[in-house]
Amino acid sequence: MKTRVIIVRHGQSTYNLKKLIQGQIDLSVLTDLGIQQAQQVGATLKGIPFDHVYCSPLKRANQTANEIVSVLKTKLPDTPDPETVDTIKEIDMPLWEGLSFKEAKERDPEMFQAWYDDPANFSMPLDDGSTFYPVRSLYDRAAQFWQETLPKHPDQTILIVAHSAINRGLIATALGLGPERHENLHQANCSISILNFSGALGEPVQLESMNLTAHMGETLPTMRSRYHGPRLMLVRHGETEWNRQGRFQGQIDIPLNENGKRQGEQAAEFLKDVHIDAAVTSSLSRPKETAELILRHHSGVDLAEMDDLKEIGHGEWEGMYESEIESGYPGMLQQWQASPETVDMPGEGGENLEQVWERAIAAWNQIVAQYSHTEKPVTVLVAAHDAINKAILCHVAGLGPKAFWQFKQGNGAVSVIDYPNGVESAPVLTASNITIHLSGSVFDKTAAGAL
């Protein structure tokens, strides 16, 4: 069983425009821009055969879903109409709905700060004397939605159109994250995210991509105005011949093939209008070549190298095909695929994921610290590898080596991590595995070769 899920946030609403807290109040509708954004989502997803469409019953989400489906039907007339589901309504904020963010902060400063700093324990006193936990309640509904929905759609593709907070809750609960990680994920208006479930909630799941905005002409999601720390763009190197062949590379220094160079050029074109202040790469040639291609559009930016960003050391597996590993190391490849955190790569130079985590995160934190507390936020390009990038993305989300396979990293993919107040603040995964610049599709169509 496999269920592919595409999640979309509603388009810009009248309350978004006025910077008002919406929650479950149903007075807000799409602006003209919001309608255009919904139609752009429809055009981007057109041709995908959806088996079912779910949406929140709140007007702004329901209107977005109907705009998307109307476009989808121009190519696939049998696309189902949206079904409204109460469990994917937006977060319930009974004391603040209809207030501006500024008003809520001024009226309840401690409570407002807790919303961002401690979402799992953020609470509101109700008139009946009880205490309500908005984010906890949201995550309960998100888990309930998955538990009720996934068994209905084996081997199907479904579309969900909802809201910022509930979408974050859906992605977080799918990955096994709780409400304490709520502020570590971002969802822009009409962004697209993709999850691949192997079965029910709690079984293996992959975040194929998150918070794609390029279909609306916004290369990367805009950094929130309240953020003052650095933005890091994490890029995986372009394809190598060994990627294409499915051979394990590890730390053998395999260069880009012709397709990999083309992917580097496509990433360069995609990012050419994004201001880059600094750049760091693994010392291996494939990410270094990729970074150099991107920096052709950014004169004056030096490229630093860090050995600790090298790919995982596969030891005796390096240069081998899966079939050779299966015959030479019976059961180990399956163990790597099912429980990667338990595997020590055999032979000299072989690593385990704990070792990869230790050096990758140390290097990452060093980069973040170097570019924190600047006069204005800076953007840093970091070019590395599949395993290194997965370790960093897991770290950013609050996950360990056991979650290694939950993040997809395509050749030439771009991910975005923001630090609201520098290295001392919790990172925010703003976008993950953007590959739309490589194929024009929201799906990652890069080589599924070995690391």
Q: Which residues are the active-site residues?
A: 237, 311
67/400 Cα distance (integer angstroms): 39
The residue whose two tokens read 């962004």 is 191
179/135 Cα distance (integer angstroms): 6
43/75 Cα distance (integer angstroms): 10
Question: Buried b / exposed e across 121-153, counting CB within 10 Å, b at 16+?
Answer: ebbbeeeeeeebbbbbebbebbbebbeebbeeb
- Residue 451's CB is within 10 A of a number of other CB atoms, namely 19
Where would I find the H helices in 176-282?
Answer: 241-245, 258-271
3-state class of 331 per DSSP? coil
Nearest in space to 442 (alpha carbons), one of 433, 311, 451, 87: 433
- What tokens appear for 349 in the block? 């130079």
Question: Buried b / exposed e across 1-31, counting CB within 10 Å, b at 16+?
Answer: eebbbbbbbbbbbbbbeeebbbbbbbebbbb
